[in-house]
Amino acid sequence: MPTPFLLLPLATLALAAWVTWLAIHYAIRRRLVDLPGERRSHQVTTPRGGGIGIVASQVFACSVLAFLYPAYAFALLVFAVGLLLVAGIGWWDDHRPLPALPRLGVHLLASLMLGGVVLGATGDPLKAAFCAFLAVSLINIWNFMDGINGLAASQAALVGIGVAVLLPWPLGIAGAVLAAGCLGFLPFNFPRARIFMGDVGSGALGYLVAGLLALGMCTTVLAPPLWLVLPSVFLVDAGFTLLARILKGERWMQPHTQHLYQRFVKRGRSHAIVTVMYASLTLSGVAFTVFFSSLPLGWGWAGGLGWGAALAAAWGFLRIGLFNKDDD
C-alpha cells in the first residue's frame, strides 16, 4: 500500500484530536455549553462544538487528496465547499440558534452541490437527484441522532470503515480518512463526554456520509440498497420515528425524546451500552454488505431491501416494548 494511504489517515486522526482539544478550551472560555434538561440525555453541563475537529480533519484530507490526484481536484473542491457550508451554518447555530429555514436552505444548497458533482461524474440526473436528497436527509438525521455520548461519531466511523473495505483503492482512502477523523474525536466524547459534537459536527457528518455513499454509487455496480445498509441503523430509527410523529399529528420539528436510543437511556441503559448496541448492529450491517457485494447484482438488491425490512420490523417491535402512554 502506498505511503500516503498510511500517513494520511494518521495525520487526519491527529489533526481531529488536536482541534477537538482546542475546541474544549474555546467552548469553556466562550461559555458555549449544553445544559441538562427534560429533552436532553445528559446530566451535567458540557461544552459543545467539538465536531469542528472532525470538520478540520476532513477539509485537510480533501486538500491533500486534491494535490495527490489532480483529476479529482475540482470534485473534491466542490465537496469541501459544501462541507464548509454545512459545518459553518452549524457553527453559527451552536453560537446563536437559528430558525429552521435558513439552516435548511444551506443544507439544500450543499446537497445540490453534491448532486452536481454526481451529475458531472455520471451524467445520470436520477442518480444525482437521489444523492442530493440523500445528503439533505442524512445531514438532518445525523443531527437528530446526535444525542448520547459517542453515538453519531461511532456510526460515521463504521460507515467509513465499510466504504474503505468496499471501494477499490485509492478510492477507499475516502472512507479511511472519515473513520480516522471520527476516531480522533471519540476519546473526548466517549465513554465520558468532555465535549459534545454540536451542530457543526453532526450536520457535517451526515454530509460526509452522504458523500461516501455517493462515491460508492458512482464508482461501483453494487445495488444502491446495499450501500444504504451502512447507515441503515440511523435511517430506520430517525425515519420511522419521524413518520410516527407525523402520523400522530405531533409538531415533528420540535425537540423530543422518542428515538429508540433515547428511550433506551430513559429506561436506565447507559450511554456506553446503547452506543455499543448500535455499533454492533452497524458492524453486522458492514459484514452483511461486504458478503452480498461479492454476489450478483440481483442478490445485492434483495439483500439490501431484506436488511431494511428486517431492521424496520425490529424497530417496530422495540418501539412497542419501550413506549407506553405514561412515557409520552
Task: State the angle between helix axes of 173-185 and 151-166 in degrees (0 to 180), rounded to the nearest 10.
Answer: 160
Q: What is the pLDDT of residue 6?
A: 80
Cα 272 from Cα 281, distance rounded (Å): 14
What's the whole-number mean pLDDT along residues 188-212?
96
Provide the pLDDT confidence category of residue 112 given band limits of 50, 70 and 90. Answer: very high
What would the grid cell of residue 152 be?
A: 453519531
Higher local confidence (pLDDT), 259 or 323:
259
Peptide bond into 170 cis (omega under 30): yes
Q: What is the pLDDT of residue 328?
A: 45
The pTM is what? 0.94
Cα 168 from Cα 4, distance rounded (Å): 15
Task: State the angle between helix axes of 52-68 and 3-30 in degrees (0 to 180), rounded to the nearest 10.
Answer: 150
> In 3D, which of 196, 178, 215, 153 has the Cα closest to residue 58?
178
Cα 261 from Cα 132, distance rounded (Å): 27
Cα 66 from Cα 75, distance rounded (Å): 9
Percent of the chain with pLDDT over 90: 78
Cα 248 from Cα 266, distance rounded (Å): 21
Cα 136 from Cα 140, distance rounded (Å): 7
Q: What is the pLDDT of residue 283?
A: 97
What's the whole-number mean pLDDT along residues 140-167?
96
Q: What is the pLDDT of residue 325?
A: 44
- Termini Cα distance of the chain: 54
